[in-house]
Structure 1
Amino acid sequence: MKKLALPEDILLRVEKPGRYIGNEFNTVLKNPEEVEIRFAMCFPDIYEIGMSHLGIQILYDMFNQREDVYCERVYSPWTDLDRLMRQNNIPLFALESQDPIKDFDFLGITIQYEMCYTNILQVLELSGIPLLSSERNEDDPIVIGGGPCTYNPEPLADFFDLFYIGEGETSYFELLDAYKENKAVNGTRKDFLEKAANIPGIYAPLFYDVEYNPDGTIRSRSKNNPAVPETIIKQVVLEMDDTYYPEKPIVPHIKVTQDRAVLEVQRGCIRGCRFCQAGMVYRPVRERSLEFLRERAKTLIENTGHDEISLISLSTSDYPYLGELVNFLIEELGSNGVNISLPSLRIDSFSLDVMSKVQDVKKTSLTFAPEAGTQRLRDVINKGLTEEDILNGSALAFEGGWDRVKLYFMLGLPTETEEDIKGIADICNAIANKFYGIPKEQRSNRLQITASTSFFVPKPFTPFQWSKMLPLKEYMDRARTVNHAIKGSHNKKSIKYNWHDADVTILEGLFARGDRRVGKAILAAYKKGCIFDAWTENFSFRKWMEACEETGVDIDFYTVRGMETTEILPWDFINTGVTKNFLLREYNNAMNAMVTPNCREKCEGCGAAAFGGGVCHENKS
């Protein structure tokens, strides 16, 4: 029987023991004594969310194809087990071997969301790894971070030895080989970090210093080691069919957030939404071939037993072979009861036709994101969606049988006015009018529109990275304005409005735009008990405010202050391929409400097309 790190009496006292026992279907099991590198792959949230992340499944499969490497998984223990582990001095362990994380060579942490930052410290502390990289010794694992939040790694710089910038399939094996070489010659931890810093895409904060001006802006950023590069270049997979993709992904014991097979159809996005970090940093667009996806879809279902497959990308509607792929999946898998999930579709006749083939419209909602309430503001953010598109698409959906619609908007966007805010109610009302304009005998009796607003956060490497945020009260005032306008609309009984408190948004902005000084506040908040900040029941804005005040971190400096286009930004040392000149040009276009065509319509020279020697699909000759 497999050994377990948790005694039976502990397992019986936690909410979901299945989170911690491992041994799921398709798990990779190796003898730790027969490998040279042990790598613990961590998602700093609960098992159900971490097991839904494709990136970890890809790297887990990729690493374990090497005979000299054993990659295992670890997730953040929920608060019940966190408490029991501390009380009973139980170290955090990997699911596969149940061995302590402290015994591994690497702890790799994917950083998907800013509000998981304190969970990173939880993982380190429960593992017995010093929180500060400067305090780690030769026996501690190398702590490396990856994922979208590393496009500004500076708030976490004190806690990580290395960051991997970009897509993990390109440089990780070179990093692991360098580690083996360093061990073979009895090199020190610092020797390895210096070697790692010279591998493309690897950033070692240890070797860089930052100085600040009296006003708090960055004066300079310099190397303290001449052997490391000035700029870190994002890593990109150029050939999407000639890379790693798991054929036997792990199937969890318990229900997880995305309990289905996942088929990534492409990376990147042809749309140029000016608020969207993913749309900028994952350029250029790279598609998987229809042949690859057909074969992999069959293999995934055969090897997992899942009864649903999801086609994912930033904008699945823009995958050029979507119709052919869906038809194939219906013919090949539909007879076996396999459902097809299609997130990230645009509201147009093609997408609605595709959805109608694979969804029971009586059971599903139509989801799309106008983002802004007026056409002027949609042009500012370059949404590429007109009011005519929205209303015509809604009418087609209602004629097709849909009667539930989810709409997503943002409040606090640059240049937003009261007219834009109230326009959210107007567009909801206009969509409802389309429904009730259809003869009764051709539609269902009741329409349900659910409108949700989030609050704008300016992210690095977007045209809005220089924009300012709003004070907390102003965000909530704008949400109340929307609520009041919806309650006063003609179709108010058909419209439900949801909004969230803006305090989390303020912290997201602090972490997204922060520099190394913000790390002090993260550490202080963790010591006050802040973990699982993404979970409403655990979040304490008061503790975060106290932590910032005690450490001298001025939140307003990073949020409500607009950054000058001439100042040094904390993330300027990273090259994502999209040039700063392009971002600035798009920022100016936004201020003039000028629309930029998408990549298929016209190449605007963002820089990504030739990045890494590749070309955008749209520009191939």
Structure 2
Amino acid sequence: MTIEKLLEKLLPQVSKPTRYMGNEYNSIKKDKDNIKVHVALAFPDVYEVGMSHLGIKILYHLLNQYPDIYAERVFAPWVDFEGLMRKEGILLFSLESKTAVAEFDFLGFTLQYEMSYTNILNMLELSGIPIFSNERREGHPFVIAGGPCTYNPEPLSDIVDFFVIGEAEEVIVEIMDLYKSFKERGESRQRFLEEVARISGVYVPSLYHVSYNDDGTMKSILPKQADIPRRIQKRLIKDLDNVYYPTNFVVPYMDIVHDRAVLEIFRGCTRGCRFCQAGMIYRPVREKSVVRLEKLAKDIIASTGYGELSLASLSTSDYSKLKQLTEILTDEFRQSRVSLSLPSLRIDAFSLELAKKVQEIKKSGLTFAPEAGTQRLRDVINKGVTAQDLLTSVKDAFSSGWKTVKLYFMIGLPTETYEDIEGIANLAFAVVDVYKKVYGNTRGLKVNVSTSTFVPKPFTPFQWESQITLSEIEERQRLLRSMLRKNKNISYSWHDGKLSFLEAVFSRGDRRLGQVLKIAHDKGCKFDGWNDMFSFEKWMSAFNESGICPEFYAYRKRSKDELCPWDIIDPGIDKKFLLRELEKSQKAEITPDCRIRCHACGVSKLKAGGFCETKNEI
């Protein structure tokens, strides 16, 4: 029975069968007999999560521009369909041609979140591909990975054949060209790995030897061959106006997490929040021109029919021509009723006039991220906003008709005290008081307070810091719950501290964690980011069986001269800069936006233009 016939039989038995159907509007079909390279672009979560990710959309349409390359999509099957696949002996397959993933040349994973790692192992097993790279033979796909989690690739280094570090639009084409040549010459799998390792931005972990000190810290990570780079420098797109960007996005049949058209307006961030990995690794800021964005926006809406367009970046309100762009786009789409959304607005950059302009068609709630409850702690993390900034912004919003706001904070930040936790509640109460002053009552008001737990991330000034313990997380969450429940207009949600603990382990871990992942997978761990699937007990059992202590990675402060697993990667940020920022955080000193003054972070050596064209020494 063909896979298509099996699906006709099985899909009525599962929830959300459209996850597995394919054939969506703007999806791409090619004749497999006329291609040279077959690529499976994999996202280690369900369809509606993966289809919301911009990176996989860009690569899908970019690669399919080439007649001799066929890129297809594959997502993690939900547990109901996985059960049927195992029962019927169905191997994991692609959406477009329903080809078994094991038959592809490349299986490329997007690494967006550490708690999706067990899904990678599960997808490999469902594909019939060996989990560990040293067990793969000629004919197996090359398992590759890209995305923000690759800035510490070590926990997956025994599983992934090679990593692509940084922005992939140019390097992925170089890899494909090399593979075509390799395939024509009929050379070995090992020979290809040795050649691809010489492409800038590519890390082949099997070509490096790792050694450890007696205390468990890393001693060295060194190339096994003289012509292999000692550090892997990230790839960077210098000219965003001329880089490929798709307009014919695939339009899903089902609702997805972010079900709207996406227009990326710039990359990078100049703010320098000390907890934020994205703000460091995506430097420098590079903007697209208004002319380019206007054309892209028109083409995207024309080819997809979406009724909402999201202007995407790390901090949308920092786009230098945002007012001009939003005026052009709202005027352009007013008649067709296409609304604009502006995620990532900062409190201090919030413009009531701007918010009113972009929400003329559709008004939604507003989200603000003070991050910390007191000014002292906001200065520690270099957030650069004040309580008054927030209160002024919400007053303007309430006066203009908004009745729902979300406040996002972190707990467990370095130097945090219980006074800082109480400050979160006091700030929420102050927002309620502002609403009361505007309307004379609190009818209709909803203040949604959300907290996550701080995770020290590689290539941030806090990479040397420790995470607070699980008992401390729970105690701080209890304190906030008890304070916030006093006001009926305030609701409180929080991120599971056990998930944050494991996220810290894998974001800071080394390649010894590959064995832990395998044991956890064997115990049934998957979809760990989903509350109803996550089993902390299974994870702790996996660590016990492996003889590896997770607290070693999450709770240990690191010395400034310790070799970190991620030091094999060069993100363009100097360690000296990160150490200066760490020292300033300990004094609660602010570092101004680097659009105002260069702080010599090191990224100017990449010669990427943007806001780093002129370097002013500190």
TM-score, normalised to structure 2, is 0.97
Contact 1:4 1:21 in 2 (8 A): no
Contact 2:505 2:554 in 1 (8 A): yes
Q: Which residue of 1 aligns with 2:543?
A: 548
Match of 2:456 among 431, 455, 458: 458
Q: Secondary structure at the match of 1:129?
A: coil
Match of 2:477 among 457, 476, 479: 479
Q: Which residue of 2 aligns with 1:448?
A: 446
Contact 1:42 1:74 in 2 (8 A): yes
Cα-to-partner distance string for 1:482-525 (whole Å, 9 max, x where unaligned): 2223245xxx2222211233110110001000001111111100
Q: Which residue of 2 aligns with 1:142?
A: 142
Contact 1:609 1:616 in 2 (8 A): no
Q: Secondary structure at the match of 1:610?
A: helix
Contact 2:317 2:349 in 1 (8 A): no
Q: Which residue of 2 aligns with 1:241?
A: 241
Shifted more, 204-213 versus 393-402: the winner is: 393-402
Distance between the aligned counterparts of 1:349 and 1:435, measured in 2?
Answer: 20
Structure 1 segment 65-144 matched on structure 2, within 5 A: 65-144=65-144
Match of 1:617 among 591, 611, 615: 611
Contact 2:44 2:76 in 1 (8 A): yes
Cα-to-partner distance string for 1:258-311 (whole Å, 9 max, x where unaligned): 111100000001111000000000000000000010000000000001111111
Structure 2 letter corresponding to 1:541: F
Q: CA deviation at 1:445?
A: 3.1
Contact 1:169 1:244 in 2 (8 A): yes
Contact 1:476 1:501 in 2 (8 A): no
Distance between the aligned counterparts of 2:595 and 2:154, measured in 1?
Answer: 35
Q: CA deviation at 1:4?
A: 2.1
Q: CA deviation at 1:607?
A: 1.1
Q: CA deviation at 1:390?
A: 1.4
Q: Which residue of 1 aligns with 2:564?
A: 569
Distance between the aligned counterparts of 1:130 and 1:592, measured in 2?
Answer: 50
Distance 1:335 1:3, change over 3 A: farther
Structure 2 letter corresponding to 1:605: A
Match of 1:504 among 499, 505, 509: 499
Contact 2:111 2:145 in 1 (8 A): yes
Q: Which residue of 1 aligns with 2:14?
A: 14
Cα-to-partner distance string for 1:87-118 (whole Å, 9 max, x where unaligned): 11101111111111111100010010011000
Match of 1:517 among 512, 518, 525: 512
Q: CA deviation at 1:225?
A: 2.1
Q: CA deviation at 1:227?
A: 2.5
Q: Secondary structure at the match of 1:571?
A: helix
Identity of aligned residues (%): 50
Distance between the aligned counterparts of 2:564 and 2:362, measured in 1?
Answer: 49
Q: Which residue of 2 aligns with 1:467?
A: 465
Correspondence 1:153 to 2:138: no
TM-score, normalised to structure 1, is 0.97
Query: Mind listing any 5+ residue stretches in structure 2 that lack a counterpart?
Result: none
Shifted more, 451-460 versus 169-178: the winner is: 169-178
Q: Which residue of 2 aligns with 1:392?
A: 392
Q: Which residue of 2 aligns with 1:253?
A: 253
Q: CA deviation at 1:363?
A: 5.0
Q: Which residue of 1 aligns with 2:301?
A: 301
Structure 2 letter corresponding to 1:581: K
Q: Secondary structure at the match of 2:116?
A: helix
Q: Secondary structure at the match of 1:77?
A: coil
Distance between the aligned counterparts of 1:73 and 1:364, measured in 2?
Answer: 32
Query: Mind listing any 5+ residue stretches in structure 1 that lack a counterpart?
Result: none
Distance between the aligned counterparts of 2:305 and 2:221, measured in 1?
Answer: 52
Distance 1:147 1:349, change over 3 A: closer
Q: CA deviation at 1:609?
A: 2.5
Structure 2 letter corresponding to 1:503: K
Distance between the aligned counterparts of 1:451 and 1:12, measured in 2?
Answer: 40
Distance between the aligned counterparts of 1:618 and 1:448, measured in 2?
Answer: 42
Cα-to-partner distance string for 1:428-479 (whole Å, 9 max, x where unaligned): 1112222212253xx8733221111100000000000000011111111011
Show structure 1 runs of 4+ deviating over 6 A.
none
Contact 1:233 1:575 in 2 (8 A): yes
Contact 2:347 2:370 in 1 (8 A): no
Distance 1:5 1:517, change over 3 A: farther
Structure 2 letter corresponding to 1:486: L
Q: CA deviation at 1:122?
A: 1.1
Distance between the aligned counterparts of 1:362 and 1:278, measured in 2?
Answer: 29
Q: CA deviation at 1:5?
A: 6.9
Structure 1 segment 410-429 matched on structure 2, within 5 A: 410-429=410-429
Q: CA RMSD in A?
A: 1.6
Match of 1:583 among 562, 567, 578: 578
Structure 1 segment 321-400 matched on structure 2, within 5 A: 321-348=321-348, 351-359=351-359, 364-400=364-400
